[in-house]
Structure formats: structure tokens, C-alpha cells
Structure 1
Amino acid sequence: MRVSDSQFSSMMTRAMMNSNVEINRVAEQIATGNKINSLSDDPAGSMKLLNLDKTISSAEQYSSNIANVQSKYTEYETYLMSFNDLTLEVHDLLLQANNGTISEESSAGIIAELESLRQQALDTLNKKSDGIYIFSGTDVYSESIIVDDSTDPMTYSFGGNTDHRSTKISEDAAMTSNFTADEVLQGSLDFFTTLDAAIAELKNPTDNKNSILGNAIDSADATQKSILNTVTILGANYNSLDRMAVNNDDVALYAETVKTDINALDYAEASVRLTQSMNTLQASQSVFANVMGSSSLFDLI
């Protein structure tokens, strides 16, 4: 079978182009330190790397979600412990007021402090963060505790709702990221109603003073226990998030290790391939120049 000049030229051009492509590919590998820089380098390996990148990206996103939830938990803990301190002060003042030997002046001071603490407690449960009520469940634009002061005594009701927001923290796990006023108070507003009754009793004492103040003291105790129970749940969740964050870091690290195993370049082997490709190109160029320098391919036969 005879090969024409045009056929030979086409074959040699194609061979030199292939050598150039291989030289450029190996040069890029050496420059980046990666065996795979494009899909064509290794289709199967490229798909593995894409899947590993997705795994790493997901793990990093989950870690970011965990950090956000923990930041919210820290905020909740601050307000809950503040509310806890308020209930302790209310408890102590009520015990003091229940002492029959206090003066009228002392009683007036206690009333003023109790009224201030009641308002602080309401303000705490109706706290806003970034423009939303944090204890109102998912109904974040409604107050957590609604006060109707048009009645005597004032009436209280829960606002918002009891729903929880859930944040994904791993491929198959999610964590509650909020706490509601309803769960903090265990569905009861007795803390406020009994406190109001105690304040009214101190303003106008009756024979039921001990009973009314005793109810308020018991309610303050129950509220404090409920708050601390919520804080305990918060702490347990926080620790779970810590463990999940470590797990996500391990997943990302493992994926990075596998990526390195798949994609790490053997520089010695790459150097050999580069030399071979350059030698092949030089040989092809030499042959092409010699052949095309003759008047015809058949002159060399």
C-alpha cells in the first residue's frame, strides 16, 4: 500500500499534535502537582474527585450549620440564666415579704422590686435578636408572652407557637435550633399570675397573705427548675453538636486524604513521560522535515 505525500503529512502532523498535547498535559500536571486537571485526563478518576469534593463541601456546610446553632444556643443560655437569676430574686423577696415583722416602708420597697423583676422577666422572654422574637417558636414576629393590662388583674397568654426550627448538621441528622417560652415555662404562666397576686396582696394585705405569697414562692421555685431543665437540655444538645462537628471534620479529612491518594502526582514518573513525549516530538519533527524536504516521498525509497 502506497502512502501519498498528503497522507504522510497528515499522519505526521497528527503525531506531532498528539505529542504536543501530551507534553502540555504533563507540564500542567507537574505545575499543579495533580494527576487529574481535566475530565479528559481520567474520566473515572474525575468523577471520584467530584464526589469527594461534594462530600467535603457538605461536611464544611454542616460544620458551619453547627457553629450557627451553637452561637444561638449561647444566646439562649445567656437569657435563660438571666431569667433564672430573676426568679431567684423574686423567690428571696417573697420569702422576705412573707415575714410578718417587715415594716411598711420595707414592704413598699419589696413591691417596687417585684414589679421591676416582673417586667424584666417579661422583657427577657420577649427578647428579640435580628428583629425576631427568639422565644416565639416559628412565629417569630409575634411576642412570646402577651400581656393584657386592660383587665384587673392583668392577664397573660402565650404568643407565637410551640414549633421548633430544625437545622441539618449531618447527612442524616438535624438539631433543634430554638427554644420556646412555652417549654421554658412548661406551658404555665403561673409565675406571672401568682406574682401579680402576691404584689396585690402586699399592697392590700388580707388574712390570706401567707397562702397567696406561698403560692407565688412555689411558682418561682417551679419556674426556676423548669428553666434549669431547659438549660440542661441546651447543654446536652451543645455537647452533641461538638461531637458531630468532630465527626464532620473527620469526614472532610478522610475525603481530602482519598483525594490526595487519587490525584497526587508521581513527579519521577511524570518527568519520564515528559522526556519521552519531547523525544517523540523531536523525532517526528526530524522525520517530517527530512521527508518534506525531499521532492517526493518516493525519492526516499
Structure 2
Amino acid sequence: MRITDSQFTTMMTRAMMNSNVEINRVAEQIATGNKINSLSDDPSGSMKLLSLDKTISSAEQYSSNISNVQSKYSEYETYLMSVNDLVLDVHDLLLQANNATVGEESSGGIIAELESLRQQALDTFNKKSDGIYIFSGTDVYSEAIIVDDSTDPVSYSFGGNADHRNTKISEDGSMNSNFTVQETLQGSLDFFTTLDAAIAELKNPTENKNAILGAAIDSADATQKSILNTVTILGANYNSLDRMAVNNADAVLYAETVKTDINALDYAEASVRLTESMNTLQASQSVFAKVMTSSSLFDLM
């Protein structure tokens, strides 16, 4: 089949363009160190890389979530242990007040301390962080414990709710990121009501003093156990989060390794391809130049 001048020109132009494309592609690979820089480089490999990038992004997000939850746990632990210390002080003061040898002056000091500790415990359970009540479940704009001082004696009730806010920490796992006053006190506000009764009794002693103070002491014991139980659960959850963080880090490391296997450039092989493409281009340009300076293809035959 006879090839015309125009056909030859088209063929040579296309060949030089292809060589230029390949040179640019290899040059980009060498510059980035990646075999795949666009979908057209390797459609199948590109899809694998996209999937691996998604895995890495998800794992890193889960790790960030874990870090946030652990930070909140540390905050909860601080407040819970603070209340635990307050309850211990209440317990010790009630034992001291229940001693028959306590005088009126000492009793007055104990009453003042008990009232202060009661308020500190209430303030802690109604603590806010970033503008929300942290012990109020998912109803974060309501107080955890509501005090109604219009009644005699003062009445207490739970505000908020007992619901948990769950945070995703893995592809198929989540962890509650909050603790509520209702679970911490096991649904009972006896600590405050019995403490108020004990304070009232110390202000105006009756023959029921031992029984009333004894009930407050028992309630303080039960409250401390309940708080420490919550702290134990918190600690177990924290350890689980540590293990999950390690798993997520391993997932990122594995995905990064696979990405490297798929996409890492063999510089020696790329250098050979670059040289071959440049030689091909130079040869094509040389032939094309000769054709352009000849009157006909037959002159080159």
C-alpha cells in the first residue's frame, strides 16, 4: 500500500507526540517517586490506591475519635475522684459527729464543713465543659441534679437523662463518651437527702441522732462504692480504647505498606524508559526532518 506524504506526516507527528507523552509521564514519575500519578497511568492500581487511602483516612479519624474520648474520660475521672474524696470527708465527719463526746462548738464546725462538702458535690455533678453539662446524658443543656429549695426539707431530682453519646472508634465498633450522674449514683439521690437529714439533726439533736447519722454514713459508704465502680468501668473502657488505637495504627501502617508496594517507583527502570523514550523521539525527529527537506518520500528510498 502506498503511503502519501500527508499520511507519513500524520504518522510521524503521532509518534513524536506519543514519545513526548511518555517522556512527560516518566519525568513526572521520577519527580514524584510514584508510578501512578493519574487514573490513566494504571486504572486498576489507581482504584486500589483510592481504597487504601479511604482505609487510612478512616483509621486516622477513628484514632482521633479515640483520643477525644480518652481526653473526656480523663476529665470524668478527675471529677469522679474529686467527688469520691468529698464523700470520704463526709463519711469521716459524720463518724466524728456521731461521737457522744463532740461538743457544741465542734459540732458547729462539722455542720459548716458538711454543708460545704454537700455543695461542692452538687457543683461537681452539675459541672459544665464547653458550655454543656457533662453528667446530664444527652440532654446536655439541663442540670444533672436539680435542687428545689422551696420545699422543706429541700428536695433533689435528676435532670438530663441517663443516655450515652456514642463515638465511632472502628469500622464496626463504638464507645460511649460520657458518664451520667444517674449511673454514677445508681439512680439514687439518698446521699444528699440523708446528708441533709444528718445536718438538720446536728443542728437540732433528737433521740434519733444515732439512727439518722448512721443512715447518712451508710449512704456515704454506698455512694463511694458506686463512684469507684464507675471509675473502674471508665478505666476498663480506657484500656479498650488503647487497644483499639493500636489496631488503628496497625491498619494505617499496613495500608501505607501496601500503597508503597503498589506505587513506589523503580528509579532504575524509570531511567531506562526515559532514555528509550528520548531516543525514540530523537530518531523520529531526525527522520521527520529529513522528510521535510526532501521533495518526496521516493527521494529517501
TM-score w.r.t. the length of structure 1 is 0.99
Residue 40 (structure 1) aligns with = 40
TM-score w.r.t. the length of structure 2 is 0.99
1:45-194 paired onto structure 2 within 5 Å: 45-194=45-194
Whole-Å separation in 1 of the counterparts to 2:300 and 2:94: 116
Aligned length: 301
Secondary structure class of the residue paired with 1:282: helix
Q: Which ranges in structure 1 are unaligned for 5 or more consecutive residues?
A: none
Whole-Å separation in 1 of the counterparts to 2:22 and 2:59: 36
Residue 259 (structure 1) aligns with = 259
Amino acid at match of 2:105: E
Alpha-carbon deviation of 1:31? 1.1
Whole-Å separation in 2 of the counterparts to 1:113 and 1:151: 23
Amino acid at match of 2:70: Q
Deviation by residue 1:269-297 (Cα, 9 ceiling, x = unmatched): 11111111011001100110111110122
Q: Which ranges in structure 2 are unaligned for 5 or more consecutive residues?
A: none
Residue 30 (structure 1) aligns with = 30
Residue 270 (structure 2) aligns with = 270
Whole-Å separation in 1 of the counterparts to 2:280 and 2:61: 48
Whole-Å separation in 2 of the counterparts to 1:10 and 1:297: 14
Instruction: Name the % identity.
Output: 88
Whole-Å separation in 2 of the counterparts to 1:201 and 1:131: 38
Runs of 4+ aligned structure 1 residues displaced above 6 Å come to: none
Whole-Å separation in 2 of the counterparts to 1:153 and 1:243: 49
Deviation by residue 1:197-230 (Cα, 9 ceiling, x = unmatched): 0000000100000000000000000000000000
Amino acid at match of 1:261: D
Secondary structure class of the residue paired with 2:146: strand
Whole-Å separation in 1 of the counterparts to 2:299 and 2:268: 42
**Which region of structure 1 is more displaced relative to structure 2, 163-172 or 289-298?**
289-298
Whole-Å separation in 2 of the counterparts to 1:124 and 1:31: 58
Whole-Å separation in 2 of the counterparts to 1:112 and 1:55: 59
Residue 3 (structure 2) aligns with = 3
Amino acid at match of 2:227: I
**Which region of structure 1 is more displaced relative to structure 2, 267-276 or 191-200?**
267-276
Deviation by residue 1:236-272 (Cα, 9 ceiling, x = unmatched): 0000000000000000000000000000111111111
Alpha-carbon deviation of 1:2? 1.1
Alpha-carbon deviation of 1:298? 2.7
Alpha-carbon deviation of 1:300? 2.4
